[in-house]
């Protein structure tokens, strides 16, 4: 008789479930780029975001602009393999979707088919509404991203908070409405002043997930490495440090180095003894 193992049931949090969280219990989202981190975060979060912030966090790039679709597919596949509960959302990287809706669909299809993500995220508001509609109509769930747009860092002139200027605030509000009307199931709102975070959240029917956009949002996202103290001393004002893993890692490396130099490592218990012959 052939032995048969039934596939593990997939009970991931679904896009409609996230969409229905508008005004309900806040959506919890963290970034993940690797299998071990995804495995650790999966039980606690609703969304694992494979953000293109991986370009800076993992690859040491100066911005997200150098991230490729191949990088996103490889990291997204690792995160999907190591998780079973959270909805995995992957960023469409710079240059993979802005040219046309068809280009965006091709990139999104690769992330869904090759990596197995449940949705994609793209940056932009009114200008991307047609693309959002094109993807949604073809079965690709889309998370929006408005406010501070890291992929437009050169056009926006830096990473400062948006929305102090009334014209800029009005444009960001229009962006939120445009992508909600185009069918996005939720949207990240990044780096905006509190009244604007609140106004966007009140104005649109889909959940807002804030990063530096105030507690008024329907959920929150942070870059995990910032939250656990792995990205250095200087983190944005909106980050709360929940752990100091950078300090722990540095101390562990120094203790290991001392032990190796003093020949205290490896000890007998960490050494393979020769087995008696026969
Ligand atoms: O790339 C990313 O990690 C993001 C979050 C900061 C929202 O877009």
Whether residue 223 is contained in a domain is answered as: yes
Nearest residue by C-alpha to atom 4 in ligand 1: 51
Given this model, what pLDDT does residue 1 score?
47
Q: Is 53 in the pocket of ligand 1 (CB under 6 A)?
A: yes
pLDDT category at 20 given cuts 50, 70, 90 is: very high
Quote the domain boundaries for residue 81.
15-244
Helix (H, G, I), strand (E, B) or coil at 116: coil
Q: Is 51 in the pocket of ligand 1 (CB under 6 A)?
A: yes
Whether residue 78 is contained in a domain is answered as: yes
pLDDT greater than 60 at residue 9? no
* CA 150–ligand 1 middle distance (angstroms): 8
Q: Using a cut of 0.75, tell me whether the model's pTM lies above it.
A: yes
Whether residue 264 is contained in a domain is answered as: no
* CA 166–ligand 1 middle distance (angstroms): 25
Whether residue 8 is contained in a domain is answered as: no
> Could you give the count of Cα atoms lying within 13 Å of 223 in the half-sphere of its Cβ?
21
Of 40, 70, 39, 45, the residue nearest 55 (C-alpha): 70
Whether residue 262 is contained in a domain is answered as: no
Q: How many domains does the chain have?
A: 1
Whether residue 277 is contained in a domain is answered as: no
Q: What is the pLDDT of residues 106-160, one digit of tens each?
A: 999 999 999 999 999 999 999 999 999 999 999 999 999 999 999 998 888 888 8
Rounded CA separation 203/125 (Å):
14
Given this model, what pLDDT does residue 11 score?
87
Q: What is the pLDDT of residues 68-107, one digit of tens each?
A: 999 999 999 999 999 999 999 999 999 999 999 999 999 9
Whether residue 122 is contained in a domain is answered as: yes
Whether residue 240 is contained in a domain is answered as: yes
Classify the C-alpha dihedral 153-206-37-228 as positive or negative: positive
pLDDT greater than 90 at residue 278? no
Residue 184 sits in a domain whose CATH number is 3.20.20.60
* CA 249–ligand 1 middle distance (angstroms): 24
């Amino acid at each position: 008789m052939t032995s048969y193992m039934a596939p593990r049931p997939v009970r991931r949090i679904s896009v409609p479930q996230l969409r229905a969280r508008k005004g309900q219990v806040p959506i919890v989202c963290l970034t993940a780029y690797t299998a071990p981190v995804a495995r650790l975060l999966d039980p606690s979060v609703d969304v694992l975001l494979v953000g293109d912030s991986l370009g800076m966090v993992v690859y040491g790039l100066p911005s997200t602009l150098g991230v490729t679709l191949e990088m996103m597919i490889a990291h997204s596949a690792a995160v999907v393999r190591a998780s079973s509960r959270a909805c995995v959302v992957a960023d469409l990287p710079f240059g993979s979707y802005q040219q046309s809706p068809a280009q965006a669909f091709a990139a999104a299809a690769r992330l869904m088919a090759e990596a197995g993500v449940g949705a994609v995220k793209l940056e932009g508001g009114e200008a991307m509404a047609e693309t959002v509609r094109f993807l949604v109509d073809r079965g690709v769930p889309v998370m929006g991203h408005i406010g501070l747009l890291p992929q437009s860092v050169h056009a926006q002139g830096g990473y400062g908070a948006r929305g102090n200027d009334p014209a800029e605030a009005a444009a960001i509000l229009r962006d939120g409405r445009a992508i909600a009307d185009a069918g996005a199931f939720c949207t990240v709102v990044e780096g905006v002043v509190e009244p604007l975070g609140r106004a966007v959240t009140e104005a649109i029917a889909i959940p807002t997930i804030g990063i530096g956009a105030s507690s008024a949002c329907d959920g929150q996202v942070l870059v995990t490495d910032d939250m656990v103290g792995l990205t250095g001393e200087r983190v944005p004002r909106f980050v709360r440090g929940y752990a100091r893993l950078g300090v722990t890692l540095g101390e562990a490396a120094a203790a290991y180095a001392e032990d190796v130099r003093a020949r205290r490592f490896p000890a007998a218990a960490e050494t393979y003894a020769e087995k008696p012959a026969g």
